A and B are shown apart, each in its own frame.
Chain A
Amino acid sequence: MTRDITLSQAVNEAIAEEMRRDETVILIGEDVAEAGTPFKVLSGLVEEFGTDRVIDTPIAEPGFMGIAVGAAMTGLRPIVDLMFGDFLYLVMDQLCNQAAKTHYMSGGKLNVPLVLRTNLGATRRSAAQHSQSLHALVAHIPGLKVAMPSSAYEAKGLLKAAIRDDNPVVIFEDKLMYQDKAPVPEEEYLLPLGEAAILREGPEVTLIGTSSMRQVCEKAAEILEADGIGAEVVDPRTLVPLDEGTILGSVRKTSRAIVVDEGHQNFGVTAEIAARISEKAFYYLDAPVIRMGAMDVPVPFSPALEDLTVPTPEGVAANARALVRGVPVHAP
């Protein structure tokens, strides 16, 4: 049985279920208790689990991140709430130098089972320091797993799997999707990290979309269907590990791929996935792999400008149409 719940409710349910199941799971971050975060994702948790387990911190991201790393090394399973993905820069040492490397540097003796929950996504008119999608930064670092839920269903299943994982997992929720509803099973389920989903099958072009870009790809596929072009939509769900088998299998079938992600395009997730396709499915490609990331400018404030920086269904469809018709998107 499923019911439609919002992504915000899905996250809340996942945390509540895991905190009920495992006493060692704690929640730590700025305004996670009574405030329930600015997005009200965590409302109600402090009432059930108390301030011992739902811990409000001062505004000190490196500090509470570091504390979470130490707590994770010594028996707790912290869920760290980083209010905005943009604040990743503040916690980079604790996340990337400490959490990510502890298991390796200790030769497997120590491990850091923590979840860093944060968000991504532009077009909320929040300007350059509250709108970034920085998942490529952490996906670059060995030792971190990175999950990118694309709807309430993925948000719940991936978060529960992340909380049970014995390693640091960074999970990015699109802050524009918190109120979006999707069917979510009433019974418990987990989505394993490293398994992509094919959301729509089609013979002519593969659209690979992460997080909310999955919805963009699905809309593009609808536009293309009206044109008589069959697009396949793949949601990788996690970047680390990346389910190459599903992605490459789809591209081998369709011979064409567009990778859509809301991180900056340069040196980003689209580039990485495109490169793996080019390396491993080269002889199946009938067109260059096209990257569509966020425009490589700081996110502007004005709606007139901000909306230009994010991939749109129309843009994805236009590129897909060109590929299928053999028209180069970039001049040879």
Chain B
Amino acid sequence: MPRDKQANAEAYLRMYRQMVRIRAFEDNANQLYLNAKMPGLTHMYSGQEAVAVGICEALTDEDRITSTHRGHGHCLAKGAELKLMFCELLGKEEGYCRGKGGSMHIADQAHGNLGANAIVGGSAGIATGAALSAKRLGRNYVTVCFFGDGATAQGLWYEVMNMAALWKLPVIYACENNGYSEYTSTDEVVAGSLTARAEAFGIEAHQVDGQDVLAVNKCSTELAERCRRGEGPFFMELETYRYHGHHVGDINRDYYRSKEEEARWKADRDPIINFGRWLLSEGVATKKELVAIDSEIGDEAAAAVEYALAAPYPDAIEVDMHVFKGVEHALPYMSGARQ
């Protein structure tokens, strides 16, 4: 293989591995929930892997993202480790947030992940602020704001898009349109077109097939580079699909979505299967190599789950720690104890 083709092949295989990793994580998380081993609920990213991976593979560790309640995919795609993610999901001390955030709040600063957000559309301001910092501090990073189609109904997004456009901030608003706003079809909650909304602020908008990791990656790479040149902000609408319900407990969902529709997306539009086929057809990898990747990641995920299940919970003494930076324990501090 020529050198650049070989470099591309490495990038392709990395994208494949990242998507498989996300799928494996979610499958295990779902099992943890079904087996009553996980506290609370979680929102599965399965089906949308090409969006997170396609975008995050266009970013560096220096680049920032903000994520959503359906954020495991973003977090892993941005470089998080399975073990520490499972620990966080199970509320263990070793988790990314010492068990204080859980599934909906994983933040991984080392990889530029400013955190998932359990308020729908709640991170639009944070992402835009991170872009303001980049511009003000003369740093060359780009911030990607992930949000779903449901979040486009929130007013905050329009306020910050307005300012981002006025101030030419290096931010990409990445809307994952998975067709459902919680338990309601997006058609019922979105009037007009989403791209037109961004365009109304003078923001360049792109529609991308969110099941095609290469298409997503190509568009993201171009937009990220243009952001770095001061041409931001941008808007991407990524058409995608979530395989599970709104959350793991949303099992009987016939009333808003048919099983046939789900089966059709899984059979025809699965981002991992389709990308695997493309890798085979292009000769980037053999069937055997892909199976080996699947199996290796499967083992890695299983081991991470075992590790997290056995890991200790945080000590009770931690409960009032990390309320304020620079304050060891918040409760005595708030009553006036001198630090």
* Direct A–B contact in complex, judged by CB atoms less than 8 Å apart: yes
Known A-B contacts A60-B163, A70-B125, A76-B133; A145 and B324 likewise in contact (beta carbons under 8 Å): yes
- Judging by beta carbons under 8 Å apart, are B97 and A70 in contact? no
A-B contact pairs, 13 of them (CB 8 A): A68-B125, A70-B130, A73-B129, A73-B130, A76-B133, A107-B107, A109-B107, A110-B109, A110-B115, A111-B325, A113-B325, A143-B323, A166-B326
Contacts of B95 in A (CB 8 A): 107
- Judging by beta carbons under 8 Å apart, are A242 and B101 in contact? no
Shortest Cβ distance from residue A241 to the other chain B in the assembled complex, whole angstroms:
5
- Judging by beta carbons under 8 Å apart, are A62 and B333 in contact? no
Known A-B contacts A58-B162, A60-B163, A194-B336; A70 and B114 likewise in contact (beta carbons under 8 Å): yes
Q: Which of B131-149 contact A (CB under 8 A)?
A: 131-134, 136-137, 139, 143
- Say yes or no for A104: interface residue by CB 8 A criterion: yes
Complex Cα spacing A93 to B137, Å:
26
- Judging by beta carbons under 8 Å apart, are A241 and B125 in contact? no
- Say yes or no for A202: interface residue by CB 8 A criterion: no
- Say yes or no for A298: interface residue by CB 8 A criterion: no
B117-134 CB mask vs A (1 if < 8 Å, else 0) is 101001111111111111
Known A-B contacts A110-B109, A194-B338; A58 and B64 likewise in contact (beta carbons under 8 Å): no
A56-70 CB mask vs B (1 if < 8 Å, else 0) is 011010111111111
- Judging by beta carbons under 8 Å apart, are A105 and B324 in contact? no
Of A73, A105, A196, chain B has the most CB atoms within 10 Å of the CB of A105
- Say yes or no for A24: interface residue by CB 8 A criterion: yes
Of A219-227, A243-251, A256-264, A311-319, the one contacting chain B is: A243-251
Complex Cα spacing A99 to B163, Å:
20
- Judging by beta carbons under 8 Å apart, are B125 and A62 in contact? yes
Q: Which of B271-313 contact A (CB under 8 A)?
A: none
Of B14-22, B44-52, B152-160, the one contacting chain A is: B152-160
Complex Cα spacing A165 to B95, Å:
27
Interface size class on chain B is: 35 or more
- Say yes or no for A167: interface residue by CB 8 A criterion: yes
Complex Cα spacing A145 to B66, Å:
25
Complex Cα spacing A276 to B114, Å:
37
Q: Which of A62-96 contact B (CB under 8 A)?
A: 62-76, 78, 93-94
- Judging by beta carbons under 8 Å apart, are B136 and A26 in contact? yes
Look across to chain B and name the residue whose beta carbon is closest to the beta carbon of A72: B129
- Judging by beta carbons under 8 Å apart, are A106 and B105 in contact? yes
- Say yes or no for A52: interface residue by CB 8 A criterion: yes
Contacts of A65 in B (CB 8 A): 125
Contacts of B156 in A (CB 8 A): 62-63, 66, 93-94
Chain A residues with CB under 8 Å of chain B are 24, 26, 52-53, 57-58, 60, 62-76, 78, 93-94, 97-98, 102-111, 113, 142-143, 145, 165-167, 194, 196, 240-246, 276
Look across to chain B and name the residue whose beta carbon is closest to the beta carbon of A239: B334
- Judging by beta carbons under 8 Å apart, are A74 and B163 in contact? no
Say which residue of A98, A104, A110 sits within 8 Å of B125 (CB atoms): A98
- Judging by beta carbons under 8 Å apart, are A66 and B128 in contact? yes
Contacts of B334 in A (CB 8 A): 142, 240-242
- Judging by beta carbons under 8 Å apart, are A103 and B322 in contact? yes
Shortest Cβ distance from residue B90 to the other chain A in the assembled complex, whole angstroms:
14
Shortest Cβ distance from residue A254 to the other chain B in the assembled complex, whole angstroms:
19
- Say yes or no for B321: interface residue by CB 8 A criterion: yes
Say which residue of B130, B143, B159, B335 sits within 8 Å of A244 (CB atoms): B335
- Judging by beta carbons under 8 Å apart, are B338 and A63 in contact? no
Look across to chain B and name the residue whose beta carbon is closest to the beta carbon of A67: B129
Contacts of B66 in A (CB 8 A): 70
Shortest Cβ distance from residue B168 to the other chain A in the assembled complex, whole angstroms:
13
- Judging by beta carbons under 8 Å apart, are B129 and A70 in contact? yes
Say which residue of A66, A107, A165 sits within 8 Å of B322 (CB atoms): A107
Complex Cα spacing A36 to B18, Å:
50
Would you list the 6 A-B pairs with minimal beta carbon distance, nearest first?
A66-B125, A70-B129, A63-B159, A107-B98, A70-B126, A107-B97
- Say yes or no for B330: interface residue by CB 8 A criterion: yes
Look across to chain A and name the residue whose beta carbon is closest to the beta carbon of B104: A105
- Judging by beta carbons under 8 Å apart, are A108 and B98 in contact? yes
Contacts of B127 in A (CB 8 A): 70
- Judging by beta carbons under 8 Å apart, are B129 and A110 in contact? no
Contacts of A142 in B (CB 8 A): 323, 330, 334
Say which residue of A62, A67, A70, A103 sits within 8 Å of B324 (CB atoms): A103
- Judging by beta carbons under 8 Å apart, are A71 and B326 in contact? no
- Judging by beta carbons under 8 Å apart, are A167 and B324 in contact? yes
Known A-B contacts A62-B159, A63-B156, A167-B326; A109 and B125 likewise in contact (beta carbons under 8 Å): no
